[in-house]
Amino acid sequence: MKKVLLIAPFLLLAMVWVVVPGKAQDKSPAKYEYAVLKWDGPDRLFYNMPDHFELVHLEKKGIKIPADAQNEEWCLAYGANQLSHEGWEPINLDSRRLLLRRAK
């Protein structure tokens, strides 16, 4: 009788484990599109987007780079913040480039 009481919980647990269906993973891979943001000079940013290319001079757009900031870092951060409003997320950082992606 003691063996039955000892084995019964394990059998019950095994039956529940077999009966409860697991969640299957989605077989389709995530679909992303990628873009590159490149700093190229004191106030120049290249936006290499999936559907277009754009060269931006920040000072011509009225954007002032703070005097104490490093141009490269500040411009890349500014560009990344602008693209984040469109759903882009940075996934890789180079010394002068950001690789960004967003779900299609």
For 7-43, what is each residue's pLDDT tens digit?
877 777 777 777 766 666 666 677 999 999 999 998 8
Asked if the model's pLDDT at residue 55 lies above 90, the reply is yes
pTM recorded for the entire structure? 0.69
CA atoms of 90 and 76, how far apart (whole Å): 11
Q: Kindly report which listed range (3-7, 56-60, 93-97) carries the lowest average pLDDT score.
A: 3-7
Give the per-residue pLDDT at 10: 74
Give the per-residue pLDDT at 24: 63
Task: State the average pLDDT over residues 48-69.
Answer: 95
